[in-house]
Amino acid sequence: MPSAKPSVLDLAPVVPVVVVDDLNDAVPLARALVAGGLPAIEVTLRTPVALDAIRAIAAEVPEAVVGAGTVISARNVADATAAGARFLVSPGWTDTLLEAMRGSAVPFLPGVSTTSEVVALLERGVTEMKFFPAAAAGGTAYLKSLGGPLPQARFCPTGGITAGTAPSYLALGNVGCVGGSWMLPADAVAARDWARVASLTREAAALR
Which residues are catalytic, by number? 42, 130
Q: Rounded to whole angstroms, how far apart are CA atoms 69 and 19?
A: 9
Q: Rounded to whole angstroms, how far apart are CA atoms 6 and 197?
A: 27
Q: Rounded to whole angstroms, how far apart are CA atoms 74 and 108?
A: 13
At a CB cut-off of 8 Å and minimum separation 6, what does 78 contact? 100
Answer yes or no: are the C-beta atoms of 29 and 184 closer than 8 Å: yes
Q: Rounded to whole angstroms, how far apart are CA atoms 98 and 186?
A: 33
Which residues partner with 95 through β-bridges? Answer: none
